[in-house]
Each structure stands twice: as structure tokens, then as C-alpha cells.
Chains A and B, each alone.
Chain A
């Protein structure tokens, strides 16, 4: 099974501006989050994979299809929800989604059936005969999602799907994306500058900065790994306690006067730390999992990249 997305030194230039610079990597997660500040190249990467921009160097593949030489084949696998307002005025939602399904190759009758389904699935069932220009921003976002999924693609590109949404609408959109992801039938690439959206919807994160890959990680593995990172506030003989936990196999660092950070070895339970403290007459006043949030990861990537 080829990776969902494969980048091999992919670069894109607009005149003198290098929008993407030598991106390399393979991404196979069920849902990949594209993070980065504005202008980092997230949308450009999606557009390049859709064949809108020709790469100036390197190559990209989607499910093994080259995005340049087999652009049509690539696009037949993808459903795209653009960032900006995108609709055709004077059309009802169901007609709009049906037409786009037909453009993807579905026969007219099937397209109509699936347009109804898609609009129900995104919560626009009752409003599906209304003109798109009468929709609120949140409804337009959901109509865009419906047109992206109507033809049952293998991969969904969602570009800033929660842009401009109020908190309840955002919550609803995130829930929809998670539902689609959990159906297991489709891979998702979610581009956003909102960390929370990516954290809630994605398994893997690719952080872009200035057109380059600043960081790439598997969020689930990161979360699992971080469960073993602890931060302790203690009172008593710090040096002796540090030596004691080091003997237990922990990697320890003193982080301030009475504060230490440590990494537990896989076989060691937290209970052992309390027992060691009791033996040394040290009080553990506070114990916390020092979990790197996505925000920490993002900030580090921004500093390093």
C-alpha cells in the first residue's frame, strides 16, 4: 500500500518567491494536520498536490499517483474543501453538490442521492433546497464539506475548515471531521493555523515554516511518550533524592531549587518515586506529567525552524 502522501524534494516557486522548499517525507496517518503560521505554505502544498501549481523541483505523489504526470488520477482520489468562500451563486445546495458530484464522474441519479446524503451528514438536510447565497458562514463551510465528500474520495483536503466560525459552529465542524475520520473510509489532511483543531482531529502533525518542514511528529506517540515525563516539586535534600532516583534508572534534571524533571523508565511505576522519597525523608509536594502540548511542540518548531 503506497503512502497517502509522498514528497520528494518538492519545491514550488512563484517568480522569485520560494513558497515550498525541498519538502521530503512520507505521510500515512489517517489524519494529518498541516500547521504553520500564515504564509508558511500550507495551502500551497495542498494546491500543488491538487495540480494547481507545477512544482519547480522534486515530486509529490498521492496514493502513488504523481501529482504532475497523473494529475487527473490524483484529483479523482481527492475531495477538496477550499479555505475561501467557494460556491456558485443562484444554485440551491442540493443542486450545487449534485453538479459537483457529476463532475467527479458520478451518474446523475447517484449524484442526486449522494448529494442529499452528504447534506444530511453535514447537518444541512433541512436547508438543502435553499440558495447558497442565503447561507450563513457556518452553513457555507458545511456545504463546502458536503461537496468535498459527496463523491466518496479516498483523501479529504480540508483547508482551514473552522475559519470564521463561532465556538458552537466550530465545535460542530470539528465533530463532523472526527466522525468522517472515524468512519475509517477516508484519510484526512487538515490545514489550519489553529492548534486546537489539529490536536482534536489529527494523528500526525506536519509543521511548516517559511515553506520548509519545521517539525513532523505522530501526535499519539508523542502523547504516549510524554506520559513518562514527570515534573516534581520536592522539599528536603534534593541532591540525595536525585541520586536515589537516578539509581532507579530515571533520567533526572534539576530544574530550579526544589523542582526536578525526570523520565521514568518503562518498567518503573510512580509508586517507586514515593517510596524513595519516604526512605530519604523527602516530601513530594507536587507531581505533574510534563506533557508537551501541541502548543509546546509548535512553539519549539517555530524557534528551531
Chain B
């Protein structure tokens, strides 16, 4: 029978596994994101720095070039050592790019479902709130993974392959720091972006709020420091908090803020992130529901 002649038909065929259905909204959201040329261009640009790093590692192992540079008085090995500082810088640059990727993509993921009461259509099916959030998080995690720990590990692997197994063993901490540091950042950013876009339906405002959380904290922290003469306000600064955790993971010197390193214990940074995560989850659980409460 032709399609246009068919009416209501029951379905008795096979069903997909319930545990994999969170991938359905993730797939559709990724397709939608890459329809935007601007987003596609930006995502492509996110790979420029990792390529420069590949180039640097290549130069570092090009004996002819190193010899030429040495005769010209440039000690490339000293100028750019491939060590924990190198990967720490990589983490900072790519972490920031990951933030901008989330800034572009995060607010539209949930807000467009909420804007027209679309959530009821998801949740009236055998599909839970947790699966919904997981589906949306998957989009952000995939995007951020592609620019953070995956290229980071590839770089680390390339360097280990060229330098030798002993370098790999000596720098195992850098590889672990890349993975752990990236995942911490991805989870925090992802949940924060989803929570904000669940509460602020208007996309530009949601994006602005995300910017405010990331960049506005420093002003708040500085104000607290000037008023109360304490550094604890920097825990409200997400930028400081994550950098402090990264430097600890990579075992590099603590970051400088206003010309000096901060004296806050590392546990306080982890605690600040944990509280932020809990808050994001709470906001999400209150907002992701099939119906709107009209007060």
C-alpha cells in the first residue's frame, strides 16, 4: 500500500535497546549544530593549535633542523621543552576553546526543547529525565573531547613514540593529567551550560550568563579580596579554580593572579567545583520536567 494511503498502524517490530536511546537526541543535536557554517568553521579552527603542537614536536625531533638552529644560536630544546609545562599550556588553550565551543552549542541544546514545551514529548515516551540530560551531555562531551584530551593524548603518544619509552614512563603523569583535567572541565562546563540554558530560555541571554560565570567571577573575587582582605573569594572564579586544579594535576607552578600566586589549598578548588556540579544538577533536576508549573 502506498505511504499516502496508510492510516494508523500498530507496531509489533523490534525495538532499540532502551539503554542506547539517549544517543537519539544526541545524534539529532549534533546534526543540527553542524548545519551552522560558523560553528563548523570554529570547530575546525579548534584543531589549529594541536596541529601547531604536532609541528613543534616534529621540529623537536628533526635533527637537521635542530643542528641548523643551534648554529644560528637558537637552542630549540631549551626554548620549547616537551614536558608537563608544554601539555599544561596545551590544556589551557584547548580548555578555553572547549569553553567557547560550549558557549556556541550549549544554550541551544535544552532551550529549544523548553521554548515550545517540547520536553513533554520526550518524557511521555519510555525515556527518562536522566537519559535526556545524558543525551544532551553526550553532545557537549563529544565536542569537547575532540578538542581536549583526544588530541592531547595523541600528542603525548607522538612525543613518546619519537622520544622513547623512557620519556613516556617519566611523563605518565602528564597523560593522566590530560585525561583527568579534561574530563573534570568537560563535566563541569557541560552541566553548567545545560543548567543555565534550562533556566534561561533565551539563547543569547543563556550564553551571556555562561560568560558571566566564567569571566565575571574574577571581579567578584577581587572585590571580596579588597573588601575583606581574603583570597577565598577566588573560589567563586571558575577560571581560577580550574587552572588551580590543572596546575596541580600537571605538577606545574600555581597560576599567578594579579602578579602573585594564590595561597588557597587545592582541596578548596575541588570542593568549589563539586559544589558547582551539585548546584548544576539541582537546577537541572528542577527544570527538566514534562510540564511547566504555572504559578
Contacts and interface: CB of A to CB of B under 8 A. Distances in A.
Most buried by A among B6, B7, B16, B127: B7
A106 B116 contact: no
A78 interface: yes
Contact of B291 (A47, A73, A87, A88): A47
Given A47-B290, A99-B28, A183-B8, A80 B124 contact: yes
B131 to A, nearest CB: 9
Interface in B213-252: none
Interface of A: 47, 50, 52, 72-73, 75-76, 78, 80, 82, 84-90, 95, 99-100, 102-107, 110, 113-114, 116-117, 120-121, 125, 147, 149, 151-152, 154, 157, 179-180, 183, 185-186
Given A90-B32, A105-B16, A180 B3 contact: no
B97 to A, nearest CB: 25
B18 A120 contact: no
B202 interface: no
Contact of B128 (A72, A80, A99): A72
A180 B13 contact: no
A185 B12 CA distance: 12
Contact of B9 (A72, A114, A179): A114
A121 to B, nearest CB: 5
B16 A102 contact: yes
B30 interface: no
B21 A105 contact: yes
A50 B124 contact: yes
Nearest to B293: A14
Interface residues of B, number: 38
B29 to A, nearest CB: 10
B9 A152 contact: yes
A154 B118 contact: no
9 contacts: A75-B127, A82-B121, A85-B116, A95-B28, A105-B16, A106-B16, A117-B9, A151-B11, A152-B9
A183 B7 CA distance: 8
A139 to B, nearest CB: 14
A296 B15 CA distance: 46
B120 A82 contact: yes
A172 to B, nearest CB: 14
B126 interface: yes
A89 B10 contact: no
A86 B116 contact: yes
Contacts of B15: 104-106
B120 A80 contact: yes
A186 B117 contact: no
A151 B8 CA distance: 10
Contact of A121 (B7, B11, B127): B7
Nearest to A159: B120
B9 to A, nearest CB: 6
A107 B125 CA distance: 15
A75 B127 CA distance: 9
A72 B112 CA distance: 25
B14 interface: yes
Contacts of B14: 107
Nearest to B131: A103
A84 B291 CA distance: 10
